[in-house]
């Protein structure tokens, strides 16, 4: 149980385009989902917290207009990287948390390469 999927698993795009990444909880309802960014051989950096039906809360230094997050249902959250640039290239990981529980279950990640 507690499986989270992400789509796509990898994406290559041109600079200036927008990219949408989906995060789905497959066998549980995730009232809260988190989006992380990870650089090679480093730990995870929290970007934002999204609660179903409300606006996302962004961490300090993360541009909310750059990284649009939508959590429209209890099983789906999306991250849209708008007007992507090469410095946005990274490994993006989402996680889901059940109501009342502290454990987060992570997706397999999406590798984004912006040319």
Which residue of 67, 69, 78, 107 would you call a contact of other proteins, by CB under 8 A?
A: 107
Q: Give the total of residues touching other proteins (CB under 8 A).
A: 22
Contact between 43 and other proteins per CB under 8 A: yes
Q: Would you say 59 or 83 has its CB closer to other proteins?
A: 59
CA distances from 92 to 1, 5, 53 (A): 22, 12, 22
Contact residues for other proteins (CB under 8 A)?
A: 4, 6, 32, 34, 41-44, 46, 49, 91, 93, 97, 102-109, 111
């Amino acid at each position: 149980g507690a499986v989270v999927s992400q789509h796509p698993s990898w994406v290559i795009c041109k600079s200036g385009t927008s990219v949408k990444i989906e995060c789905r909880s497959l066998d549980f309802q995730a009232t809260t989902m988190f989006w992380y960014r990870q650089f090679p051989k480093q730990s995870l950096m929290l970007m934002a917290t999204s609660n179903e039906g409300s606006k996302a809360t962004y961490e300090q230094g993360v541009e909310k207009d750059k990284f649009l997050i939508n959590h429209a249902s209890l099983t789906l959250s999306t991250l849209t990287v708008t007007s992507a640039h090469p410095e946005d290239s990274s490994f993006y990981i989402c996680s889901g948390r059940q109501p009342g529980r502290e454990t987060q279950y992570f997706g397999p990640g999406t590798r984004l390469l912006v040319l």
